């Protein structure tokens, strides 16, 4: 198939970027979107043009490294898939495809389509963990009974791969879906209780410090999330934060 690609090119974090047009032919419908970009890059290198920089790693939808805003949607037109799982059979020969980096002040562009998502790591470090006694008498996690429903919901929240599609999609560049998933995966479990209040307060505080926007409850993040993380998590974070703020001693 023959395609016209319009790709955001930006030499570096401070450089001025622009959309550049690349016609490409010989794309096969069984190629993944990233393979199509690899194919483009091979051709660009042959022509002596700097290849397009984009993030990728596992290429099987579990690492959260690939990103891309394709034809106006995070991870492209598919649902519950990452860009690496998007295949060219979703497009038609003759299509024009817009490929842009995830846009947010908190996700600065490194080069071309690659953005720095370490803001997510800092939110995680602010409280997305539990403290465990490792002095030799560690209790087996399974020794504490957990209601099946809570275990399932915690697991669902934990499937968030931190790709940032929620931020990219949100009209406000809000990180609420990510933060709420990372808070919920602990707040639903007994092991998460001792640090529950500090966790939600600190992670929300870090999220605000990073410069993400606020939540308008449009629900766009849930639609575009490759893992189908539910808005229920945001509501849980909202009430946990409310109760933690009211009952916090400081």
Partner 1 sequence: MASTSKGLFGSSLARKYWMAATGLFLCTFLVGHLLGNLQLFVTGEEGQLAFNEYGKFMTTFPVVKILSYLTYASVLLHTVDGIMLARQNRAARPVGYVKENQSANASWASRKMALLGLLTLFFIVVHMKSFWYEMHFGTLGTDANGNKDLWTLTVTAFEQWWYTAFYVVALAGLALHLSHGASSAFQSLGVNHPKYTPLINKTMTAFAWLIPAGFIAVAVFLFVVQPGQAL
Q: What is the spatial distance between Cα 30 and Cα 193, in angstroms, rounded to a whole number?
A: 47
* 95 counts as binding partner 1 under rule CB under 8 A: no
Q: Please report how close the Cβ of residue 191 comes to partner 1 at its closest, in angstroms.
A: 14
Q: Residue 247 region, left (φ>0) first, then alpha (ψ -120 to 50), else beta?
A: alpha
Chain positions 131 to 170 lying near partner 1, rule: CB under 8 A, are 169
Helices (H), 118-219: 118-125, 148-158, 165-169, 176-187, 196-209
Considering only 11, 105, 141, 193, the residue that binds partner 1 (CB under 8 A) is 105
Best CA proximity match to 176, nearest among 212, 145, 126, 136: 212
Q: Write the CB contacts of 45 (distance below 8 Å, at least 6 apart in sequence).
A: 51
Residues within window 41-60 making contact with partner 1, judged by CB under 8 A: none
Under rule CB under 8 A, residue 72 binds partner 1: yes
- 4 is an interface residue for partner 1 by CB under 8 A: no
Please give the residue ranges that form the binding site for partner 1 (CB under 8 A).
Answer: 6, 8, 19, 69, 71-73, 77, 98, 100, 103-106, 127, 169, 171-174, 176, 195, 197-199, 201-202, 204-205, 207-208, 211-220, 223-224, 231-232, 234-242, 244-246, 248, 250
């Amino acid at each position: 198939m023959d395609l016209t690609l319009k790709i955001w090119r930006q030499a570096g974090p401070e450089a001025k970027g622009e959309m550049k047009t690349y016609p490409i032919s010989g794309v096969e419908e069984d190629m993944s979107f990233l393979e199509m970009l690899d194919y483009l890059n091979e051709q660009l290198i042959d022509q002596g043009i700097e290849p397009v920089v984009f993030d990728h790693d596992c290429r099987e939808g579990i690492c959260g490294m690939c990103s891309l805003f394709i034809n106006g949607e995070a991870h492209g037109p598919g649902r519950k898939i990452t860009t690496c799982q998007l295949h060219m059979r979703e497009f038609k020969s003759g299509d024009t495809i817009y490929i842009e980096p995830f846009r947010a002040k908190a996700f600065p562009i490194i080069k071309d389509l690659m953005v720095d998502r370490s803001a997510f790591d800092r939110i995680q470090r602010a409280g997305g963990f539990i403290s465990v006694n490792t002095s030799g008498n560690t209790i087996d996690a399974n020794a504490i009974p957990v209601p099946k429903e809570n275990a399932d919901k915690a697991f669902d929240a934990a499937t968030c791969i931190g790709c940032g599609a929620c931020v990219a999609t949100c009209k406000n560049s809000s990180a609420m879906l990510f933060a709420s998933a990372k808070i919920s995966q602990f707040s639903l479990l007994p092991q998460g209780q001792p640090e529950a209040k500090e966790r939600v307060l600190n992670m929300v505080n870090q999220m605000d410090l990073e410069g993400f926007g606020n939540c308008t409850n449009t629900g766009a993040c849930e639609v575009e999330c490759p893992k189908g993380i539910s808005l229920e998590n945001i509501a849980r974070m909202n009430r946990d934060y409310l109760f933690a703020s009211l009952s916090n001693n400081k």
